[in-house]
Structure 1
Amino acid sequence: MERTTCLIAGGGPAGMFLGLMLARAGIEVTVLEKHGDFLRDFRGDTVHPTTLDLIDALGLREDFAKLPQRRLNDVQIPIGGRMVQLATLARIPGRHKYIAMVPQWDLLDLLARAGDVEPSFRLRMNTEAVGLVHQAGRVVGVRYRAKDGTEGEIRAELTVACDGRASVLRAAAGLGVRNWPTPFDAWWFRIPRHDTDPAGLIPVVSADRVVVMFDRGDYWQSATLIAKGSDAELRGSQPVGVIMRDLAEVVPWLADRTEALRSWDEVKLLDVKLDRLDRWYTDGLLCIGDAAHAMSPVGGVGINLAVQDAVAAARILGPKLLSHSVTTADLARVQRQRILPTAVIQGMQRIAHARVIRPAVSGKLPVSNATETPLALRIFRRIPVIRSLPVFLVARGVIPERVPDFARRA
């Protein structure tokens, strides 16, 4: 029977950052990742300033700088055929006044290489945690299944579920979850980008389409919002080209790319969820990231929030794992530390769903090809506090976590 001190299920950003930090404390860590590599298209690629601070503190700044990336400094919106600045990150505090757009597989590969340097770090690809192992009412590890069909158990003093919004482990633990209805799903797709295009983040609201476009250098990573549960009906009732034709009516410089989408296979569906566990833990098991709180894509904050969970877990639990003395009370401390930032961000997302997204997908928002800037937008841009607070919360979050000293290499 295999044993480790900390078993982490899921090799996403939260799992990989947590595994690296704990391994740097000398804690035996095993990370299970069900895929053979990290290559998944349309994963969240935003790396926020607090995560950039973490990368610096871990001594990975130079390696991170070598990764292909774009910097999002500004948010612009098309109004009457011209681009109007909606927000800027230039005024936020800290070293990093931008959001880095980095292919997530490159970031995860970087963390895996950093982990390989640590003697107590082990990453097992093609291995999925499929259930929990209990002993005397306590979680003592996981059952796993490898891609080659091999099955087995790994015993651990602590199991951390980082296996996403469809977490197998949180379901196996029977933890109660609170769900909030979401009025939309999202279609992800790519649009070729020209050097003459504007840069940054561009939200577009038309009479028929709500799209958010992220500058990725040679292409726009784009999401269009659709009414919840309407994916199959829309795909069956219209050609894929209607997406780009609707978009070009509002964004004239895309008129030469109306044929960019040729097949529905190029359009990926994101089933939007918003939920949160009542309790993120049980004896021997802790859930963090999307396994504890599935986030809406509004604001693109899900990855940043998950990584901050990982930092808090490493700081609180690292010394306990070293002394082999982790208790359920310690796991509760992690939730208490992270519940306020999670609740605040999810509250903001729920307001955005009700006030902006629901009217947008039902065609009741003012369209952005109007000739004049809407009054609400003019007020937003002119009052510093109103303009800066949402940007600050998206970029820096609520109660940023401090990297534990044992993980620092800066």
Structure 2
Amino acid sequence: LCSARAVGFHMMSSRSGLATAPESHRNPIVHRYTTVLTQPLRRDCEATGLVEEDGRVRGVQLAEGGTVRAQLTIAADGRQSVLGRDSALPLIDLGAPMDVFWFRIPKLAEPKADTLGVFAARRVIVFIDRGDYYQCAFVFTKGTADSIREMGIETFRERVRSAAPDMAAGVDAIRSWDDVKLLTVAIDRLQRWSRPGLLVIGDAAHAMSPMGGVGINLAVQDAVAAANILAGPMAAGVDPDPLLGKVQERRMPPTRRTQGMQVFMQNSVVAPLLKPGATLDKAPLAARALDAIPLLRRIPGRIVGLGFRPEHIRSPEA
């Protein structure tokens, strides 16, 4: 068993304000800001397809029946994007050798770091400190979820305990497979993010690996860039269609770089550990280098925390 420090958030510039928070904490913040919207907001309203007329997207179809029509539809419905698939935009699949079981265990002792990675032969587990609990990612060879489940939940708990003895006391909180969620890992991106009347952003445009937890960061940055480019002109009555490509122009380079980093890490660190017969006498070279040279940890710290192209709100207030 090996563990290593890989990310140095504490070594970033003091001007770079950085905080980590569970996604569940985001919802109350979003809800607070929706109270000042000048347009109606429909919550818990599922879109099931696009409305198209004369070669242009005019809105979305709703699961409950009816449609919502708009001058511009922005598809931000995640990695299993219904609207992205319905758009027929071409997709590049970069591949991923693993899938992930997500679960949480209570934090019964103070952690040594915000994020702990454990590397073992055929086992890679990441524990992310979420305050009073750990968000855990159990990484395994793609397509083997059913065979792991067939071993039983107690066998799974024991695999977690043996890989991370320091966390063993909290593992009993995994009561059944209902507490363990499957994340089918994909790294892909649309070759084109838009067509007349439609813009696709976030995971819907570029599914990210969970490595680094950067998917939500890129999605928010996409949204900020889209607002900066589109909000002012649309408020002035300008047709948004000619501007949609500018969003992809700005956001595709950081997307490619981030996915390139993830593909390198999964192929050089994760994939070798998941192979049948894999052995591990020491942490992978990349992890050992980051562990040994503190200055190097600033690089992934900046990439994970800020991204290759941070965005700042420059759009006019609504």
What TM-score do you get using the length of structure 2 for normalisation? 0.91
**CA deviation map 1:149-186 (0-9, x unaligned):** xx112221111001111212122221111112210110
TM-superposed CA distance for 1:216, in Å, is: 1.8
Distance 1:172 1:84, change over 3 A: closer
Distance 2:286 2:75 in 1: 42
| Distance change (3 Å), C-alpha of 1:184 and 1:130 | same
State the shift of 1:313 in Å.
0.2
Match of 2:129? 215
What does residue 75 of structure 2 align with?
A: 161
One-letter code of the match for 1:155? R
- What SS does the aligned partner of 1:321 have? helix
- Matches of 1:376 and 1:319 in 2, distance apart? 45
SS in structure 1 of the partner of residue 70 of structure 2: strand
Change (3 A) 1:123 1:194: same
Residue 100 of structure 2 is aligned to residue 186 of structure 1 = yes
The correspondence for 2:42, drawn from 113, 119, 124, is 124
1:394 to 304, 307, 311: 304
Find the aligned partners of 1:376 and 1:294 in 2 and give their Cα distance.
24
Unpaired segments ≥5 residues, structure 1 = 1-77
The residue number in structure 2 matching 1:143 is: 61
In structure 1, what is the Cα distance between the partners aligned to 2:240 and 2:293?
A: 48
Match of 2:28 in 1: 109
Change in Cα spacing, 1:354 to 1:142, as seen in structure 2 (3 Å) is same
| Residue equivalent to 1:300 | 213
Q: Whole-Å Cα distance in 2 between the matches of residues 374 and 355 of structure 1?
A: 8
Distance 2:100 2:269 in 1: 15
Q: 1:357 to 1:382 in 2, by over 3 A?
A: closer
Runs of 4 or more consecutive aligned structure 1 residues displaced over 6 Å after TM superposition = 372-375
| Cα distance in 2 for residues equivalent to 1:375 and 1:152 | 55
Per the alignment, residue 282 of structure 1 pairs with: 195
Q: Once the 2 structures are TM-superposed, how far is the Cα of residue 362 of structure 1 from its aligned partner?
A: 1.9
More moved, 333-342 vs 391-400:
391-400
CA distance in 1, matches of 2:89, 2:286: 42
Residue 195 of structure 1, CA deviation: 3.0
TM-score (norm 1): 0.72
**What is the CA distance between 1:94 and its match in structure 2?**
5.0
Question: Identity percentage over the alignment?
Answer: 39
Structure 2 distance, partners of 1:171, 1:374, is 37
Q: Distance in 2 between matches of 1:177 and 1:260?
A: 39
Aligned-partner Cα distance in 2 for 1:161–1:332: 15
Equivalent position amino acid for 2:121 in 1: A
SS of alignment partner, residue 217 of structure 1: coil
Contact 2:59 2:67 in 1 (8 A): yes
What is the SS of the residue equivalent to 2:128?
strand
Deviations 1:80-123 (A, max 9, x none): xxx76443211213545544122x233123212212123x2322
Alignment of 1:3-14 (within 5 A): none
Q: Structure 1 residues 197 and 106 mapped into 2: Cα distance closer, same or farther (>3 Å)?
A: closer
**Structure with greater strand share of residues:** 1
Paired letter, 2:314: P
Residues 275 and 84 (structure 1 numbering): CA distance in 2 closer, same or farther, change over 3 Å? closer
Q: Secondary structure at the match of 2:108?
A: coil
C-alpha deviation, 1:239, in angstroms: 2.0
The residue matched to 1:100 in structure 2 has which SS? coil
Which region of structure 1 is more displaced relative to structure 2, 203-212 or 275-284? 203-212
Inter-CA distance 155–246: structure 2 relative to 1 (3 Å threshold): closer
Q: Give the secondary structure class of the aligned counterpart of 2:172.
A: coil
Which residue of 2 is the match for residue 70 of structure 1? none
Give yes or no for contact 2:101–2:137 (8 Å, CA) kept in 1. yes
The answer for the alignment partner of 1:312 in structure 2 is 225
Provide, for residues 210-231 of structure 1, a one-character-per-residue CA deviation record: whole Å limited to 9, x for no partner. 1000112222110101111111
The two structures, once aligned, show a CA RMSD in angstroms of 2.4
Paired positions, count: 318
| Residue 13 of structure 2 corresponds to residue 93 of structure 1 | yes
Q: Give structure 2 stretches of 5+ with no counterpart.
A: none
**Partners in 1 of 2:71 and 2:284 — Cα distance?**
57
